[in-house]
Chains A and B, each alone.
Chain A
Amino acid sequence: DGGITQSPKYLFRKEGQNVTLSCEQNLNHDAMYWYRQDPGQGLRLIYYSQIVNDFQKGDIAEGYSVSREKKESFPLTVTSAQKNPTAFYLCASSLGQGAGEKLFFGSGTQLSVL
Chain B
Amino acid sequence: GENVEQHPSTLSVQEGDSAVIKCTYSDSASNYFPWYKQELGKGPQLIIDIRSNVGEKKDQRIAVTLNKTAKHFSLHITETQPEDSAVYFCAASISGGSQGNLIFGKGTKLSVKP
Chain A residues in contact with chain B, CB under 8 A?
4, 31, 33, 40-45, 48, 50, 56, 58-59, 90, 92, 94, 97-103, 105-108
A59 to B99: give the CA distance in the assembly, Å: 12
Q: Which residues of B contact A58 (CB under 8 A)?
A: 100
Q: Which residues of A contact B9 (CB under 8 A)?
A: 40
Pick from A40, A43, A94, A97: contact of B44, CB below 8 A.
Answer: A43
Contacts A94-B99, A99-B96, A100-B96 known; A42 to B107 CB distance under 8 Å?
Answer: yes
A44 to B104: give the CA distance in the assembly, Å: 7
Pick from B42, B51, B99, B101: contact of A97, CB below 8 A.
Answer: B99
Pick from B46, B96, B104: contact of A98, CB below 8 A.
Answer: B96
Contacts A43-B89, A105-B43 known; A99 to B106 CB distance under 8 Å?
Answer: no
Q: Which residues of B contact A31 (CB under 8 A)?
A: 99
Q: Which residues of A contact B43 (CB under 8 A)?
A: 4, 90, 92, 105-108
Contacts A43-B44, A90-B43, A100-B51 known; A48 to B4 CB distance under 8 Å?
Answer: no
B 84-114 binary contact with A (CB < 8 Å = 1; else 0): 0000010001111111111111110000000
A108 near B42: Cβ-Cβ < 8 Å: yes
A102 near B46: Cβ-Cβ < 8 Å: yes
A90 to B104: give the CA distance in the assembly, Å: 14
A99 near B93: Cβ-Cβ < 8 Å: yes
Within 8 A of A (CB), among B1-15: 4, 6, 9
Min Cβ gap B83→A in Å is: 18
